[in-house]
Structure 1
């Protein structure tokens, strides 16, 4: 159980569930109106800490590493009833809704008949915000002349998400290719020369008159096509980071302090 003397240590400490899952950071502490014992803590949850949920401090444990272990699961806190944490105190209905959600009553007592407390009514357990030294929030106690004004501030960050995938795919494409190839061939040419003294002996060989035949083989070049696969280039994928700006918006709450002075004709009212 959390005692009154450690309340100031609770602010901004990390809240974890029984399995060690982080729930959020403590922003406000609520005390029992009768005993002054810490009863509830409001915790900022969500992606950017913009949601405020209530966790019970009964059976909670403040560890040496300044982490607050509560006896409820993280999902149970996220699904808890929405309570206006900016108010100075909780209503009976709000407390009853929280006790029903978490399944136990004040100071660890059980619940009966739809959430009715066994030992005392919800009105006896009206909680108010802890005005710890140097961290006071909400309505000032009687005899104090100062209070702290708080407001919500947006915390904007980024997270890395997958937007798509790019892959290299190789296809085979067939196309026509034309090339000019030089070729050559042989042709027959008939040459006639007169018989002279120089070639008479060769011309007079053989019989005088006879039939004869002489055959000449002709040659020609023809194009021959051969194909060979050769590497021509390499293609790879690379990534570049492009920076830009994007505008985000959200709603924030802030406290306003009214100055009331009821002194007859000299009464005045102001706002801070």
Structure 2
């Protein structure tokens, strides 16, 4: 039997049946006359989108688990009743009949006209509750990812010096000279008459002259012209990095209440 002092433990706890987890407890409905907890809603279905009423007459709270003697299929197939903060006598009678309970939660019977209202859970004070189960404090933590960009030295390639031989044509102009034959004739004069009369008067004679000419001469000499080496230099440039970061947003969802737990 769940008491009024256990409300803060029941709300948000995990409902467990004989065949395992049923869902998360959303609200607790109190008896108007006695103030005792009579019904709890359990969020079932995909993503907890469906709320089903479960009687608390034979329920027991242990840690963060609310143990009820009903199987998952039994609760899943319970009559669909809107969780609008109020159970009409007809709705309550329908639920009692389905679970085989009499009005007040014991035995079997015809039901009761007592209405149920949702608790505002004032006993919880400034204690929050994560819908996934654990009890938290009066605030939730909003986190976000921050982008930290650094640099990493990696090898991007290699460079090497290689020496090889190529041939090219080099043209230079150099002056060259050669000798050519020309005939010079001079008249007989008193100055050369003696040379002219030296020898027989009539004879055959031959004079020979050696001709010379210059030819270009090429010599090649290997001489050092420069020293070449590999070196590196660091060049800094700006690079823009774009990455997605996630952050949590907090929004207020009143879920049809006025902020005090009272539904409108």
TM range (shorter): 0.3 to 0.5
TM-score, length basis structure 1 = 0.45
TM-score, length basis structure 2 = 0.46
Larger Rg: 2
